[in-house]
Amino acid sequence: MRGGPPPPPPPHPPPSPILRRRAAMTASTPSPDTPALSHPCAVLAGISFAAGSWDESIKLWNVPQAHVAHAATLASQSGLQEAASAAKDTVRPREGETRAENPHLKPQEEPQIGILPTTKWEDISLQRGLLEELRANDGIRAVCREIGRIANDVEVKAQELPFVVAEDLVKNIGEHQLQAILAYTHDLQAPSGKAGNLYFELNNALRKRGVEDRASMMRTWGPFVCYALKGMGQLPAHQGVVYRGMPGKDFVLSQYKKGRPIQWGAFSSTSTSKASSVQFMEADGVLLKIDVQSGRKLGAISFFPQEEEVILSPNCRFVVTSDSYEQDGVTLVDLVETTTDAFIS
């Protein structure tokens, strides 16, 4: 052969960290007694899939239904740290990436906590789709100067979601409702602060108590809130303890008296993680420990996915069930939600 033997073929590039992890997960078929992982989005969303499969590049895993809910925990306890990590890839940063901080979990003042009249959001007439509502609503455009940019981001993000989250989770949410959830989670990340963000301006309007203020809020934000409440009503429910940091200890302790009913009136982001909530608190803040009945898990349906984030409706009402107390250097107050149907079906 002229010129000697042909050169050896170039080596295959090393597999990515995610493929190495998945290969390790599928290196052996689990025995019936070994806890298995379902699709990672099923664990993320807190929903149970019947026995399913990964894509064709990965070996089929038939998952016992009883194992799905606790798969990541059991895997971790068994020493399968890589498997537990893969189950949460949709919300954790992959190697070389960092997860953006969720601006919604930063403490937000609630200057008024009195009970509001019940608002029948479901009775609002919806004349336009969600994106058209954002782009054409003069009231929203006046306070959210970048609403066109927000709407464009939402449109593309909604198209992406079916490819990265559990299909069953997305298909149960209508197009406009899904877009409303995403619009609420959007953040402009402006150096100047939160002003101009949709969620910030919306919640400012929802917190106002005056008659004219409430009427103006309904005209401007009513259709958006209706879409958002309907969409969030289809998200996985959360019942149990969540935490929310509140700034201004003196004000909080003067208002949150044991036995008092309260209502924030705006959408509220809380966390199932006490440590995360404490991390966001200010030095003079108070940590609210809330037993909720109607929370909703945003999970991957967000621009800033957080496993532990639970959102509460403006309709939620609570009762303060404890005096303030100290725990691990943090001041806490306990609340219990008294509403059970705070979203729109």
**For the residues of 78-130, what is the DSSP string, one character each?**
TT-HHHHHHTTTTTSPPTT--PPP-GGGS----S--PPPPPP-GGGS---S-H
Q: Each residue of 175-202: pLDDT tens digit?
A: 999 999 999 999 999 999 999 999 999 9
The confidence score (pLDDT) of residue 107 equals 62
Mean pLDDT lowest among 3-12, 131-140, 284-293: 3-12
The average pLDDT across 255-278 equals: 96
The average pLDDT across 154-170 equals: 88
What's the whole-model pTM score?
A: 0.70
Pairing of strands 286-299, 330-337: parallel
Distance CA 14, CA 140 (A): 50
Confidence of residue 242 (pLDDT cuts 50, 70, 90): very high
Domain 107-337 CATH superfamily = Toxin ADP-ribosyltransferase; Chain A, domain 1 (3.90.176.10)
The confidence score (pLDDT) of residue 168 equals 76
Confidence of residue 4 (pLDDT cuts 50, 70, 90): low
Structural domain boundaries in the chain: 17-86, 107-337
Greater model confidence, 109 or 229? 229
Residue 234 DSSP class: T
Distance CA 38, CA 196 (A): 40
The confidence score (pLDDT) of residue 67 equals 35
The average pLDDT across 293-308 equals: 92
Greater model confidence, 71 or 174? 174
The confidence score (pLDDT) of residue 340 equals 81
User: Is residue 279 predicted with pLDDT exceeding 80?
Assistant: yes
User: Is residue 229 predicted with pLDDT exceeding 70?
Assistant: yes
User: Mean pLDDT score of the chain, rounded to an integer?
Assistant: 77
Pair 138, 277: CB distance under 8 Å: no
Pair 338, 317: CB distance under 8 Å: yes
